[in-house]
Structure 1
């Protein structure tokens, strides 16, 4: 694993925007703007390193399945995860009958040498999909840098939609029209383009789509079912809107009631993803696998904030994370001895916390300063499918981080330099 300096394409900014990266410009605190996409640097991996990341990803996914079983069997554990009591019956029911689940993204620590470690699982509404599946693949093809890229995302997503929707069709005896929703509260364009890309995958899978905002979803008080603005009943809905937000909304109880009724809306990702998109998954995994000789190597000791064992991490340092936090908000990194290494503000934390053994991101430093990568390994239809890398100047990956493409087996030409 190396961070290399490469070549920039002429007109690359217009090129990536045409591929869907309309949210490339990031405004930093001083008011300036900078590119979210890094065009002239990339990370390079050997084929063996990619195989290792894929194997770890598949093993972590299987571990999450077992952790879900553990959590569902323990009401007190669900309380600690702040899983709403009035939704637990539908979470259990959907877990058992396995409605469509399309994708998720593990965020891993790795320096290319030690064992990869799980930082968290973005299981419900992961973004950075357009840049991972489309933009970096086009970059690879157009620049000719590297012999390959770990990127089966596009083909796998189309296949996942085709498989899951054909199962739905066989079960209900009719062909669904798929609605895909994003919230108008996101003004960056990222959610909109993620949904638009997913809609394209659904269409290539052979199904009709409608894209709308969550604010346009309507509840018919007569039959208590959900409809779009044209009066079409919503059979299948992909929503880029977190479950904890959805259930807290005014119509949250109606969503739960609709899931309870046979033939109600099929929500993607399904409501059981609340078990995995919650940082409480991390202490559940540690509880289940701390003594496992294989899986424990990929985990960091993690505990709920009120667990007496959390004090053990003061000696090693720890990350304090809100159960439902996003984009690094309200994360604190505490060094051994109590010094705060990094922290971010935000609106999370009232729901509770977990602490995770400190594992500072590696630094692939360059002449322009530090570069701390997080490896996002994607899971599509339950299998490892690709890699996207976000890189930050600081130790917390937030909404000011960069996206950096990657290659496999780059052959260094004469006079090429790299930072690590």
Structure 2
């Protein structure tokens, strides 16, 4: 979160002032970061006495650091600052005890107090992440706070706080704190206290709100997509007509999700992205864990460099969930070369309009806008080449992404396969028009390039060491000659090899045991998994290949074939996709630039979603309307 830059900002890391307990507050003017002093992501991590506080110098980092230095406890890791409002405990660092944490909605009858955390919602002056500040003083008319990552200016000598917020009483005795920014939305405050009087009463939502509902629309027109659009024409060709479903009996089916369930998917997407990033960092810091990912030894330094230099450079990924009234559980994170963008962001909305389905809202309506924004912020400096395989599904996938890239003002070209590519005098791969390929978005998976290294018995260390040198090549360009050239900027970055690998699932379970969104996962089969049923997955796999589902009585429920039988495996607790009117339904949410951007459902008569499983339209409706028709 960063507001409009201050008129005269202090450089990144400059001391702005001191809060109570002599806690320093620093400037987080990222535009002024000294890249020599802070060359990689690790240099932005801040620890106090070995305890991780957060990333320098974010608002959350200050809140955690102030509580630790003054109170001796910290709150759990959160994805967004506004998530602090939903936390229910803090942890005493010295002995691991949990202390209660209560939230008070803005307007509550218990006022904020020194040491409380003021929480801003996402939106307005604090888009996407929200904001948190520490209360230092409370008067009859004002609340004084310390904060980071807002105004990067040094405090006046006579002040001991960052900002003063107006406070007033309501007729019924409530306390309302107003933000001094016109669009700042204050949720309320959280206080570590044993007294829950006037705190938010958390009522668990009706479990029925998490059961998707299947509905049917009237017969549709035979044509409803715009075939003058290259992407839509390619989709019609792939589907052999204007249709979402491959089975005729599903042509008029669509699914409905409640607003409460959609909010939970959004929260899970944002929180899980942050968790997967922490797990990726942990893997790269621990060689004995990294070894379990089965990656070429010679490539590991490049993966680490990619993580250090391009931590924030991923465009998008897709989470796959099972959602029932028993909970929301993530299967995996497709952070590298995910699919279904176009179906989610465009086709399901067009289907609903054509079929007269106007209840609720389009579940993927924000995805296109989010992609355009993400591409705008990449600052691609030349033509972006989209590399795709010669595959009809990848045709519309690539064309849709090309339209998003061009909407962002970036020139874009699609390359199908590798035929027609050449070399220039400096050893760069060129496209059929002779343009150098230096910026790439790909539908190829990184594992495809690694398979090429393995299949051709390439000496990885020698190849990677010499690959950036200018020399004439005596062979046609290969995929590895593009993707593994250090100077080529590839989206998604090389580090997504870690995040997308199923070996990260046991790592997540070890780092966040019993987390409500996770399924128990291990590198070995445990008695607990055997008792409850489990799934065997290859650490590298795509499209539901080579998966075995084992029930409670050790009976084989389902086994899929594929090309990954020779890969190492992990074991994950069995949590079946719900059967909704004869179809197993998986919820897929898209993360763009690390934040929730759209959701869709994929359906199949079997327990495993495969590459040919359908994506049917999804609508988001208000809770009351949802329950009325269940």
TM-score strictly above 0.5 = yes
Among 364, 367, 374, which residue is 1:153 paired with? Answer: 367
- Give, in whole Å, the separation in 2 of the partners of 1:232 and 1:225: 10
- Which of the pair has more CA radius of gyration? 2
Residue in 2 aligned with 1:358?
574
- Is the Cα contact below 8 Å between 2:372 and 2:407 reproduced in 1? yes
Is residue 70 from structure 1 mapped to residue 282 from structure 2 by the alignment? yes
Residue in 2 aligned with 1:302?
521
| Matched positions, count | 386
1:44-99 deviation per Cα after TM superposition (whole angstroms, max 9, x unaligned): 12222211110011000010010001110111212211122111111111111116
Among 210, 218, 232, which residue is 1:7 paired with? Answer: 218
- Is the Cα contact below 8 Å between 1:43 and 1:405 reproduced in 2? yes
Long gaps (5+) in structure 2: 1-211, 469-482
Residue in 2 aligned with 1:279?
502
CA spacing shift, 1:155–1:21, aligned 2, 3 Å:
farther
1:12-39 deviation per Cα after TM superposition (whole angstroms, max 9, x unaligned): 476685473432259xxxxxx9449954
Query: How much does 1:146 deviate?
Result: 1.6
16-25 vs 94-103, greater mean Cα deviation:
16-25
- Give, in whole Å, the separation in 2 of the partners of 1:97 and 1:412: 47
Query: How much does 1:260 deviate?
Result: 8.1
Query: How much does 1:145 deviate?
Result: 2.7
Return the TM-score normalized by structure 1: 0.85
Residue in 1 aligned with 2:317?
104
- Give, in whole Å, the separation in 2 of the partners of 1:40 and 1:382: 33
Residue in 1 aligned with 2:238?
23
CA spacing shift, 1:141–1:393, aligned 2, 3 Å:
same
Among 519, 529, 548, which residue is 1:313 paired with? Answer: 529
- Is the Cα contact below 8 Å between 1:332 and 1:340 reproduced in 2? yes
- Give, in whole Å, the separation in 1 of the partners of 2:286 and 2:569: 19
CA spacing shift, 1:206–1:14, aligned 2, 3 Å:
closer
Q: Which has the higher helix share?
A: 1
Is residue 242 from structure 1 mapped to residue 445 from structure 2 by the alignment? yes
- Give, in whole Å, the separation in 1 of the partners of 2:498 and 2:544: 19
1:182-221 deviation per Cα after TM superposition (whole angstroms, max 9, x unaligned): 012x3xx111111111111111110111111242474638
- Give, in whole Å, the separation in 1 of the partners of 2:579 and 2:518: 20
Query: How much does 1:286 deviate?
Result: 0.7
Residue in 2 aligned with 1:163?
377
Among 403, 427, 434, which residue is 1:200 paired with? Answer: 403
User: RCO greater where, 1 or 2, for CA within 8 Å and sep 6 or more?
Assistant: 1
- Give, in whole Å, the separation in 2 of the partners of 1:353 and 1:133: 33
- Is the Cα contact below 8 Å between 1:19 and 1:135 reproduced in 2? no
1:198-251 deviation per Cα after TM superposition (whole angstroms, max 9, x unaligned): 111111110111111242474638534222122211120111101111123259
Query: How much does 1:144 deviate?
Result: 3.5
- Is the Cα contact below 8 Å between 2:299 and 2:464 reproduced in 1? no
The 5 A counterparts of 1:77-92 are 77-92=289-304
- Is the Cα contact below 8 Å between 1:378 and 1:385 reproduced in 2? yes
Query: How much does 1:412 deviate?
Result: 11
- Give, in whole Å, the separation in 1 of the partners of 2:591 and 2:421: 31
CA spacing shift, 1:282–1:411, aligned 2, 3 Å:
closer
| SS class of match (2:376) | helix
- Is the Cα contact below 8 Å between 1:216 and 1:228 reproduced in 2? no
- Is the Cα contact below 8 Å between 1:103 and 1:380 reproduced in 2? yes
CA spacing shift, 1:255–1:377, aligned 2, 3 Å:
farther
- Is the Cα contact below 8 Å between 2:583 and 2:605 reproduced in 1? yes
Is residue 265 from structure 1 mapped to residue 488 from structure 2 by the alignment? yes
Residue in 2 aligned with 1:171?
none
CA spacing shift, 1:217–1:36, aligned 2, 3 Å:
farther
| SS class of match (2:261) | helix
- Give, in whole Å, the separation in 2 of the partners of 1:128 and 1:198: 11
Query: How much does 1:40 deviate?
Result: 1.2
The 5 A counterparts of 1:168-207 are 168=380, 175-184=381-390, 186=391, 189-207=392-410
Long gaps (5+) in structure 1: 27-32, 169-174
Query: How much does 1:149 deviate?
Result: 2.0
- Is the Cα contact below 8 Å between 2:583 and 2:604 reproduced in 1? yes
